Amino acid sequence: MSKQSPSTAKFQVGRYRCTMTFADGAISSKWEPKVPRDLNKAEVKAYRKGRDALLAQTGKKILMVEF
């Protein structure tokens, strides 16, 4: 199996900005300006949408390399 290049997604979650990276089998998140304590329903929805986009992008990369 060949080494995958990292997948990155940047997205807005209310007043926060999240940068998620999938590399070496792990997901890391960086929040700006700080890590949120409590997200409201709309913010949770925005977070999940961004996270799901990253996972879909990563899945497509894996399938293209593996097959």
Mean predicted confidence (pLDDT) in 56-66: 80
φ and ψ at 36, to 5 degrees?
-70, 145
Residue 62 lies in a domain: yes
- Could you give the 3-state DSSP secondary structure of residue 15? coil
**Total residues belonging to the chain:** 67
| Residue 32 resides in a domain | yes
pTM for the whole thing?
0.81
Residue 2 in any domain: the answer is: no
Q: How far is CA 9 from CA 1, 12, 20, 24, 37, in A?
A: 24, 10, 5, 16, 21
Structural domain includes residue 1: no
Residue carrying the six token digits 């497509």: 60
Is residue 33 a part of any domain in this protein? Answer: yes
What domain count does the chain have? 1
- Distance, in Å, from the CA atom of 34 to the CA atom of 4, rounded to the nearest integer, reads 29
61 — pLDDT class (breaks 50, 70, 90):
confident
Range of the structural domain that residue 61 is part of: 7-66
